[in-house]
């Protein structure tokens, strides 16, 4: 049986899925037709029910939960892994840092912010910390640093490996939104998860979940096994940065969400419901 599978070309995703799609583990009769996209494109593909299995942002999952349920394996959660709000102007970084979670003076409301997508978890967290920053431009995440350097935007919301490179380019951190979330909730931050269509047979859902878990476990046991594959899809980066990225986003929650991971996700949904950021659902979020 062949199933469509979407994930990003970022090192954390290719690290997770390498063993699965290259049959380094027994896939028990399943094969996968892979599509590589940035996370916002994957979010929209989920809204359109285009893929059987896909990576998406937890923010976006709130809009796709009627059609998809969350697998226990493959997620990106953790401490110290959140998106960063950055700028080219050091004085602006200092001024805004003091207002995270507080009313922002009107003089800052029209600052233009480059974001990696409306439905990204990064944008959700930005809305929690700085609800007044509404002048947003959606960009591919890898273009945000250059837009700041060219002064096309005032602030940039960066994710993935860019958190390792922005300082080398002369850019400054305003706030670590993951750290902001952790301090206000005492929970790991849910960034992205792997979901499967609800109309798939239960047997297939459970098998896919088991296989992704095995793929992650294989990657942990053989961390260099997928090096060439991971490098082929990554942005320009050296091996050290690539594995820093993997270490940041692939952890015990990628093997299995467990009670703490599920609690963090449920807390994010409940907070978003309370603020009317996302629609409520009667569907169960998690794989049965």
Residues forming the annotated binding site for substrate?
Answer: 55-57, 121-122
**Distance from C-alpha of 30 to C-alpha of 134, rounded to nearest angstrom:** 44
Q: CB–CB of 255/73 below 8 Å?
A: yes
Phi-psi region of 110 (alpha: psi -120 to 50; beta: other; left: phi over 0): alpha
**Pair of tokens at residue 262:** 């599920």
Does the annotation mark 245 as catalytic? no
Residue of 109, 160, 233, 245 marked active site: 160
Write the CA distances from 231 to 152, 215, 227, integer angstroms. Answer: 30, 18, 6
Q: CB–CB of 52/197 below 8 Å?
A: yes
Backbone angles phi, psi at 33, to 5 degrees: -100, 110
Q: Alpha helices of the chain — where are they, by DSSP H?
A: 11-21, 39-47, 58-64, 90-97, 121-129, 144-149, 177-185, 202-221, 227-233, 239-249, 252-255, 258-274
Q: Which residues are catalytic?
A: 160
């Amino acid at each position: 049986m062949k199933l469509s599978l979407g994930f990003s070309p970022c090192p954390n995703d290719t690290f997770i899925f390498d063993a699965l799609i290259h049959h380094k583990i027994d896939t028990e009769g399943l094969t996968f037709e892979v599509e590589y996209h940035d996370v916002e494109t994957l979010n929209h593909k989920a809204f359109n029910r285009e893929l059987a299995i896909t990576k998406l942002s937890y923010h976006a999952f709130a809009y796709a939960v009627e059609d998809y349920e969350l697998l226990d394996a493959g997620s990106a959660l953790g401490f110290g892994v959140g998106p960063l709000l950055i700028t080219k102007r050091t004085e602006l970084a200092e001024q805004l840092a003091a207002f995270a979670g507080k009313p922002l003076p009107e003089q800052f409301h029209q600052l233009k912010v480059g974001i990696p997508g409306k439905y990204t978890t990064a944008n959700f967290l930005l809305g929690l910390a700085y609800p007044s920053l509404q002048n947003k431009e959606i960009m591919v995440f890898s273009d945000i640093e250059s837009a700041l350097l060219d002064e096309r935007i005032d602030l940039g919301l960066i994710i993935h490996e860019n958190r390792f490179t922005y300082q080398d380019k002369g850019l400054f951190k305003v706030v670590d939104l993951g750290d902001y979330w952790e301090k206000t909730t005492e929970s790991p931050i849910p960034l992205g998860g792997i979901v499967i269509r609800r109309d798939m047979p239960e047997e297939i859902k459970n098998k896919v979940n088991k296989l992704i878990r095995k793929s992650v476990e294989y990657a942990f046991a053989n961390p260099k096994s997928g090096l060439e594959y991971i490098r082929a899809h990554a942005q320009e980066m050296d091996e050290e940065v690539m594995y820093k990225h993997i270490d940041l986003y692939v952890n015990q929650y990628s093997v299995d969400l467990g009670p703490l991971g599920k609690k963090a996700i449920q807390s994010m949904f409940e907070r978003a419901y309370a603020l009317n950021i996302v629609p409520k659902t009667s569907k169960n979020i998690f794989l049965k």
